[in-house]
A and B are shown apart, each in its own frame.
Chain A
Amino acid sequence: MIGLDHYLVLAAALFCIGFVGAVVKRNAIAVLMGVELMLNAVNLNLVAFDRFGVHVVPLGQSFAVFIIAVAAAEVAVALAIILTLYRRRSNTRVDDLDMLKW
């Protein structure tokens, strides 16, 4: 039987994978995907708490919808910035952003 613990472990694992991806990856798109993975781990947590908790109002699910919407806005801006950078240097490697210490 799959219980709350399984969801928590999965969410924690997803969060860590996302964090490592965001720190280690050298491609701007992959870094962005790492951040999105972290946000989705949170969503998984919230929805699981709603399912297994004793709360009457589905607060967690509604919060998750907010997070999804905000994450979409963030990705839109991020892709626009990546596109600007790509037009200037025709690649999306993070370590080529050498003017700033990454």
Chain B
Amino acid sequence: MSSADFLALSPLVLAAGGSIIVLLVSAFAGKRPAPSFAAALVVLALALAAIGLAWSEAPRAVGSLVKIDGFTLFAQALIFATAFLVALASYRYMAPRSGEESGGDSGGEYYFLLLLASLGASILAAATSFVTLFLGLELLSVSLFSLIAFRREKTIGAQAGFMYLILAGASSAFLLFGMALAFMATGSLKTADLAAALVSGTPDILVLASLGLMTVGIGFKLAAVPFHLWTPEVYDAAPTPVTAFIATVSKGAMAVFLVRFFAPSGLASAGAYPWIFAAVAALSMFAGNLLALRERRIKRILAYSSIAHIGYILIAIIAGPGRAAPTVAFYLVAYFAASLGAFAAISALSQGDAEHDGLDSYRGLASRRPGLAAGLALAMLSLAGLPLTAGFMGKFLIFAAGEGAFLWVLAVLLAVNSTISIYYYLRVVSIMYSPAPEAETAAGEAFGEAAGATSGTPRPRSARAFGPAAAVVIVAAVVVIALGIFPGPLIDLIRSLTSGY
């Protein structure tokens, strides 16, 4: 490897080395999580800065394993920035709670796992070979198992972690079996060779079987419809910041990989394969939105909404060369910002001993915590895709891309589904802004704040004070509004970065 290769990989190298340092810091920091938290933030900031270094070398293929280009660097910057915000939102949420035995550990390993998961996602976004695809995916997944089960005092977290582990393990076995068949058919482990074999004439049965098997693995990671069953359970049981990470980084990285697999090869217009994805997209949109209508718990609503959003992103992915990459990149920024805002607001509300999850506990939130309520409402409006928010611009671009690629039916279904989704997003907003009856207000206070209110001692002030999670809500709100009103600069930037697609 030359020094230019190292420069191109410097964000990954920094994240990998930095995660070891964070682990060491957490081992020597005693019972305080603060040092590992600070170290993780520094490492993520350095990795973000290194994106600039890598940019000077892009586009550059390092061996046959990874290729660093503008789109990859954009995705990596998005991943590290999101991980930074998730770490901020986690700080108070993951801090040891009153009356819990922490077992003598600081919880600093949480930030190590978070770093490792974002490293896996960044590798996934750069992969051009089955080996790096598998390694990135597993680095992401194995870290997520531990993150989901991180709060050991909660049985439900461990259960969800185990369920996710088994399903992820089985789905990566499908993915690997597909890779093995592709290896047999093409004699290479490069993803581009598989795409080429598909595009050229009539692909043989091995290639088709390998793609079918790989679709299972990819669909699971995206939580697209036939493979979405884990989503509500895991979203519900995982710590809220981890849920935010799964909803954004874990799915976004796989979407970026799909774009890099599909767009340059012209696969999007070859044979029946795009139609499978079109069907998955349509099913995901409808299933996600219709199932969300009945939910009464906000994390499960967001879980179903994320299934629908993957459906929207799939439309952009099959829209073909020139359209897929810029559309997906913009949509991911908009979706990440809105999701982070929503989950950070939930984390900020759940810093007491009780989880703020049931919709009823949000009644009258606007009068109790006006700032957080406004941030959550803005995130919901953006997810619904109402004008003047980033979500609207994202959906508009997908609609334009789908229409341009003659995916009329999907574009119309997108519009129909946006309309359906407005109902459940606005229900959350209207519940927050409806006045709560006196008795319920008191109950809501006791539920939302620390156990102090019920045990008679004064509420700790920190539960109400401005914390890092609230800062994340503000950042997300600013991004959502800025992109909704002035999307031009970001779209131009994305166009210049993705010119190769």
Residue ranges of A at the interface with B (Cβ–Cβ < 8 Å): 15, 18-19, 22, 28, 31-32, 34-35, 38-39, 41-42, 45-46, 49, 53-55, 59-60, 63, 66-67, 70, 73-74, 77-78, 80-82, 84-85, 88-89, 97, 99-102
B453 adjacent to chain A (CB < 8 Å): no
Q: Nearest Cβ in chain A — how far from B30, in angstroms?
A: 23
Contact A63 B162, beta carbon cutoff 8 Å: no
Q: Which of B181-203 contact A (CB under 8 A)?
A: 181, 183-184, 187-189
Binding site for A on B (CB under 8 A): 130-131, 134-135, 138, 141-142, 145-146, 149, 152, 155-156, 158-163, 165-166, 169-170, 172-174, 176-177, 179-181, 183-184, 187-189, 233, 237
* A85 to chain B: closest residue by CB: B158
Q: Using known A-B contacts A31-B166, A53-B184, determine if residue A66 contacts B155 with beta carbons closer than 8 Å.
A: no
Can you list 6 residue pairs at the A/B interface with Cβ under 8 Å?
A49-B184, A53-B184, A66-B131, A70-B135, A81-B145, A81-B158
Q: A74's contact among B130, B169, B177, B179, by CB below 8 Å, is which?
A: B169
The listed residue (A73, A80, A100) touching B163 by CB distance below 8 A is A100
B173 and A77 within 8 A (CB): no
Contacts of A46 in B (CB 8 A): 180, 183
Q: Pick the contact of B177: A41, A63, A97, A100 (CB < 8 A).
A: A41
Collect the chain B residues with CB atoms within 8 Å of residue A97's CB.
Answer: 159, 162-163
A100 touches B173 (CB 8 A): no
Docked pose: A60 CA to B186 CA in angstroms: 12
Q: Is the CB of B156 within 8 A of A99?
A: yes
Q: Bound state CA distance, A15 and B175, in angstroms? A: 12
Across the interface, A99 reaches (CB within 8 A) one of B130, B159, B166, namely B159
- In Å, the complex CA distance between A22 and B187 comes to 31
Residue of A nearest to B152 (CB): A84
A77 in contact with B189 (CB, 8 Å): no
In the assembly, what is the distance between CA of A81 and CA of B159, in Å? 8
Q: CA–CA, A80 to B161, complex, Å?
A: 11
**Contact call B187/A78, Cβ cutoff below 8 A:** no
Complex CA distance for A53 and B183, rounded to whole angstroms: 10
